[in-house]
Amino acid sequence: MKILHVIVGLESGGAERTLQRMVESDASNAAVAHCIVSLTGAGTIGPELQRQGVDVQVLGLRSVLDLPRVFWQLLRAVRAAKPDIVQTWMYHADFLGGLAARLAGRYPVIWCVRTTDLPAGDRSITALLRWACARLSHRIPDVIVCAAQASRATHVAIGYDATKMVVVANGYDFSRLSARLDERHAWRAQHGIAADELVVGSMGRWHADKDPDNFIRMAAILGRQHARLRFLMVGRGLDHTNAALMRSLEGSGVAARCVLAGERQDVPQCLAAMDVFCLHSRTEAFPNVLAEAMAMGLPCVTTDVGDAAMVLGDCGYVVPKMDAAALAQGVTLLLQLEPAERQALGARARERVRARFTIAAARAGFESVYQRLLNGARR
């Protein structure tokens, strides 16, 4: 079975990492071959997959003016690959990849829907594509795979074909989510964090959807109450070269107590350096980073976005989005616990995600969809 994936780009985001995990999980399966077409560039993930022998093509989409060339190249790529299934990731790829698959020879098509928050009155290109995809969903894809129940409900409400939608939750290779105690100490020491300081951390790129200002406002509240508290922000764009981020921090009063780590490859070590994890987004579907923090045994606070509350269960606190005071209160409840109580809560979180969200379960979900298409049982 050969699967051609079409994705917008291969930077380190939730959809991109999900695709990477799925491809890598099939590395020893000779019966499945994956190839990937990125509409834009190779990003950080493309080279990683290429080093493992995965066929990754990049089409270099930079603006609307590139669309005719990119679509023609995509059409040629589909025809050359002759895949059994074309699987597309996110709106731009769903639209272009779905059309290319149909024009190239009516290959079975799977769309992957990741988002949940659809702002009213949005007139962006993405909103226009979403509207077009809703109408095309009745004709182009054979199956629409949602990352979360919240994603499914939101997209059905705007006109997506509900009869084609299934939910496959993200899965994780938990063998890669571990760090030793000495690695925690070394990481903290390298970044000037004392052994007796508590660290509230977050992880996610600089983007309005992730609402970094919510975290900063929360830090400002807690910074006035706790002298030995530090704040750690990890992710693309979360570094000292980001002028907008620095302006926000300088106005918060806690800039000196914030560690800006930027984009990192040592995710387990970053998470191990934290004592409490905070997901502060204003929108998510299935939040990868929350599951990863739980897998590392961290007690967590999350905003009530996407399927975050379902992922966290009773292993932490869920608070309203865009409410720094509520976020601060949730973190405070964890900080007030004794260290042993926080560890026990983190251990329960680890057990929860390791029981429910394995890479094997996610792979089985996708394989069920693949087999249904290959057997001709399309809906």
Domain boundaries, the chain: 2-171+359-374, 175-356
Q: What integer pLDDT is reported at residue 167 of this predicted model?
A: 94
At residue 355, φ and ψ (nearest 5 deg) are -85, -30
Q: What integer pLDDT is reported at residue 377 of this predicted model?
A: 45
Per-residue DSSP letters for 111-143? EEE------TT--SHHHHHHHHHHHHTTTS-SE
Q: Report how far residue 83's alpha carbon sits from residue 107's, in angstroms, rounded to the nearest whole number.
A: 7
Contact 281, 209 (CB under 8 A): yes
Q: Report how far residue 150's alpha carbon sits from residue 14's, in angstroms, rounded to the nearest whole number.
A: 16
Residue 239: Cβ-neighbour burial (10 angstroms; 0-12, 13-18, 19+): middle
Q: Report how far residue 201's alpha carbon sits from residue 288's, in angstroms, rounded to the nearest whole number.
A: 15
**Which amino acid is present at 263?**
E
**Which amino acid is present at 354?**
R
Residue 96: Cβ-neighbour burial (10 angstroms; 0-12, 13-18, 19+): buried
Per-residue pLDDT tens, the chain, 379 aa: give them: 999 999 999 998 888 999 999 999 888 888 899 999 999 999 999 999 999 999 999 999 999 999 999 999 999 999 999 999 999 999 999 999 999 999 998 899 999 998 877 766 666 888 889 999 999 999 999 999 998 888 899 999 999 999 999 999 999 999 989 999 999 999 999 999 999 999 999 999 999 999 999 999 999 999 999 999 999 999 999 999 999 999 999 999 999 999 999 999 899 999 999 999 999 999 888 899 999 999 999 999 999 998 999 999 999 999 999 999 999 999 999 999 999 999 999 999 999 999 999 999 999 999 999 999 998 844 4
CATH fold for domain 175-356:
Rossmann fold (3.40.50)
Q: What integer pLDDT is reported at residue 148 of this predicted model?
A: 87
DSSP 358: B
170, two tokens: 């993200």
Q: Residue 198's beta-bridge partner residues?
A: 229
SS3 content of the chain, % helix, strand, coil (to 5): 45, 15, 35
Rg for the chain, CA atoms, rounded: 21
Q: What integer pLDDT is reported at residue 119 of this predicted model?
A: 66
Q: What integer pLDDT is reported at residue 121 of this predicted model?
A: 62
Contact 358, 167 (CB under 8 A): no
Same topology between domain 2-171+359-374 and domain 175-356: yes
Provide the pairing of β-strand 143-146 with 165-167: parallel
Note the maximum CA span of the chain: 64
Q: What integer pLDDT is reported at residue 27 of this predicted model?
A: 84
Residue 265: Cβ-neighbour burial (10 angstroms; 0-12, 13-18, 19+): exposed
CATH fold for domain 2-171+359-374:
Rossmann fold (3.40.50)
